[in-house]
Amino acid sequence: MKKETIYNVFARFPELETERLYLRALRVSDAPDMHDYAKRPETTRYLLWNPHPNLDYTRRYLEYLMGRYRLGQFYDWALINKEDGKMIGTCGFVKFDLPHNCAEIGYVLNPDYHGQGLMPEAAKRILQFGFSVLGLHRIEARYMAANTPSRHVMEKLGMTFEGIQRGRMLVKGLYRDIGTCAILASEFRAE
């Protein structure tokens, strides 16, 4: 895959849909909904970033992301709950390994919506997009080893657990063990 392919596909950010969700580019107007979950320590416990201290911080962060979208350097979808119209999280591609047609996905969900199967629903749609539109061969996801709910999402997607890298990342002052799960295009199509 070529960088130009990624840029061309995301030049006009694709809108996707599932049974219960709309997936679209983030907007600065999403700040109140994002701040609602991004301010919570339980949301960021297993993430690389700290809770957002205030709404203005979240707004500035979204403004920064608008610039990354324009440069073709950001590939996260906002998850909009069809039932209440609220932006309840994000899911998308964290990075691409272009020479090998591989990508990594990441996600975060407002804790108020946990346990409803919304993240597997959103992530499955993004896997489908990655394999069918981008022509990816492999999509992986990583998680801090203590975050078993995230691993369960990966397993619901049909991803295979590939192992734990001990002390792989220094996160918030502690070395964390990082697990990896992945799925190949051929496995996704076989489901």
Residue 44: give its domain's CATH number: 3.40.630.30
Residue 88 makes CB contacts below 8 A (sequence gap 6+) with 33, 37, 79, 80, 81, 109, 110, 112, 113, 118
Give the pLDDT score at 169.
Answer: 92
C-alpha separations of 129 from 9, 42, 63, 139 in Å? 11, 30, 26, 11
Q: Which amino acid is at 133?
A: V
What pLDDT does residue 189 have?
A: 78
Residue of 64, 66, 54 whose CA lies nearest to 27: 66
pLDDT along the chain (191 residues), means of 10: 83 95 98 98 92 98 95 94 97 96 97 96 98 96 95 96 95 94 92 61
Measure the CA–CA gap between 93 and 159, rounded to whole angstroms: 16
132's tokens: 């069918």
DSSP codes of every residue in 130-165: HHHTS--SEEEEEEETT-HHHHHHHHHTTPEEEEEE
Instruction: Please count the structural domains in the chain.
Output: 1
Return the closest-CA partner of residue 28 out of 58, 72, 69, 71.
58
Dihedral angle sign, alpha carbons of residues 115, 74, 10, 24? positive
Model-level pTM greater than 0.85?
yes
Q: List the structure tokens of 46.
A: 């297993």
Q: Which residue do the tokens 């993430």 mark?
A: 47
Q: 180 to each of 54, 69, 83, 160, how far by Cα in Å?
A: 32, 27, 32, 8
Q: What is the pLDDT of residue 1?
A: 67
Position of tokens 């022509």? 135
Domain span at residue 152 reads 3-190
Please report the pLDDT score of residue 11 as a whole number: 85
